[in-house]
Amino acid sequence: MLAGGGSGVVVTPDGFMLTSAHVVDGSDGSVRASFVDGREVEASVVGTDPLSDLAVLRVENSNLVPAELGDAESLRVGQLVVAIGNPNGFAGSITAGVVSALGRSLPVRSRAAGRIVENVIQTDAALNPGNSGGALADGRGCVIGINTAVAGVGLGLAVPINATTRKIIGALMSDGRFRRSYLGIAGGSRPLPPRLARELGRDECVEVVEVVESSPAAKARLRPEDLIVDLNGEPVEGVDDLQRLMAGELIGENVVLTTVRDGRMVKVELVPVELEV
């Protein structure tokens, strides 16, 4: 756990730890980690991703027992969960609660960009300052979320552990950062018109609300009110789908968006750039 600043969880036997990016924001690359058995060691900040509010630390200690990462996709509303952390400096505290809601959205910002973290877990397990970065665990003891925010009394939020965040964690461990490609739009999920829903066999899409000037989307003449239904043949049913598909591998590559404009299918070709954080 992070002494005096927040909480963390060991995820590998060789000393990788997971916490919240805002917990280590402003550090000089080194923090002090204290464990419930009384050990205190220096930990280095391996990488941070403010746009998911996740960070990876490393301690030079092989005598660690890692937590098992679970899968938040299997959670159900009403399921019992426990929050483990360092609230107000009280190390090793555990509070119990239930999953109050799933699919919440959490706005986050870096110094240069903003993003919405999708599928955030809402819980009524008591969270207080210092819980950030700690584990939210299911009944089997698997970490299914990283506690990130207190939105009110009985209203805590956790970044889910799922396929998307596992990819981010892996990149932070290996490269120290997570690269994202950038289109230059603001958008939101919306229902497809009934005829298109029948044709495509799905109900949702992403509507373009705003196009950033001089962005790849602007250069490709993407317009507000365009409906994005797929990217390179992969279905886009919501903002989380689009964010997941806009991986670093697409930076500088030709991308084809299938959009609906004035009731017609329109293919839009563009080249994403790297999102500056």
Q: Are residues 151 and 216 in the same domain?
A: no
Residue 37 a catalytic site member: no
Catalytic residue among 20, 132, 230, 241: 132
- Please determine, for residue 1, whether its predicted confidence score (pLDDT) is greater than 50: no
Q: What is the per-residue pLDDT for 267? A: 95
CATH number where 154 lies: 2.40.10.10
Q: Between 36 and 96, where is the model more confident?
A: 96
Q: Are residues 133 and 213 in the same domain?
A: no
Q: Are residues 237 and 187 in the same domain?
A: yes
Q: What is the per-residue pLDDT for 78? A: 95
Per DSSP, the residues of the chain read -BTTT---EE-STTSEEEE-HHHHTT--SEEEEE-TTS-EEEEEEEEEETTTTEEEEEES-S---PPPB--GGG--TT-EEEEEE-GGG-TTEEEEEEEEEEEEEEEEE-SS-EEEEEEEEEE-S---TT-TT-EEE-TTS-EEEEEEEEEETTEEEEEE-SHHHHHHHHHHHHHSS--BEE--EEEEEEEPPHHHHHHHT-SEEEEEEEE-TTSHHHHTT--TT-EEEEETTEE--SHHHHHHH-BGGGTTS-EEEEEEETTEEEEEEE--EEPP-
How many structural domains compose the chain?
2
Highest mean pLDDT among 38-47, 87-96, 127-136, 217-226 belongs to 217-226
pTM above 0.85, yes or no: no
Catalytic residue among 7, 22, 138, 241: 22
Q: From 128, 162, 196, give the residue that closes a domain.
A: 162
Range of the domain at 236: 181-274
230 belongs to a structural domain: yes
Q: What is the pLDDT of residues 56-114, one digit of tens each?
A: 999 987 688 899 999 999 999 999 999 999 888 788 889 999 999 998 888 887 666 66
Residue 7 a catalytic site member: no
Q: What is the per-residue pLDDT for 62? A: 66
Instruction: pLDDT band for 2, please (50, 70, 90 cuts).
Output: very low
20 belongs to a structural domain: no
Q: Are residues 141 and 94 in the same domain?
A: yes
Q: Count CB-CB contacts under 10 A for residue 99.
A: 23
Determine the Cα–Cα distance for residues 243 and 109; give it in Å rounded to an integer.
15
Residue 22 a catalytic site member: yes
Catalytic residue among 7, 49, 52, 53: 53
Q: Are residues 145 and 220 in the same domain?
A: no
Q: What is the pLDDT of residues 169-184, one digit of tens each?
A: 999 999 999 999 999 9
- Please determine, for residue 230, whether its predicted confidence score (pLDDT) is greater than 90: yes
Q: What is the per-residue pLDDT for 220? A: 94
- Provide mean pLDDT across the span 113-122: 81
Q: Are residues 148 and 230 in the same domain?
A: no
- Please determine, for residue 4, whether its predicted confidence score (pLDDT) is greater than 60: no
Q: Are residues 194 and 263 in the same domain?
A: yes
Q: Are residues 79 and 158 in the same domain?
A: yes
